[in-house]
Amino acid sequence: MTTFLVATLSRYVLVEASDEDQARRLARPGLEELYAKEREQFGSDFPIEILTVRPATQPEIDLWNWHHQMIASHS
């Protein structure tokens, strides 16, 4: 498995997947969660357009993990 960065123009998620197609599928729920506020305001047809799917770099993975650790420690 590879850690993939899956991104729209303004948001991204990291997912573990075997290939880019699987990464797209696995990333969709996370991106939908990130866009929930916009969908609430503009309607459910607010598009989520994935523009980038690629293996994540180690610094991106480290930042992702740090960010989630900080969120967890302040909850």
pLDDT in tens, 30-49: 999 999 988 888 877 778 89
What's this model's pTM, rounded to 2 decimal places?
0.87
**Could you tell me which residues are beta bridge partners of residue 4?**
15, 55
- Count of domains for the chain: 1
Q: Give the number of residues written for the chain.
A: 75
Q: Are 54 and 5 in contact (CB under 8 A)?
A: yes
Residues of the chain with pLDDT under 70: none
Residues 6+ apart with CB under 8 A from 15: 3, 4, 6, 23, 26, 27, 30
Which tokens is 61 given?
């993975």
Which tokens is 49 given?
């357009």
Q: Are 15 and 2 in contact (CB under 8 A)?
A: no
Residue range of the domain that includes 43: 2-73
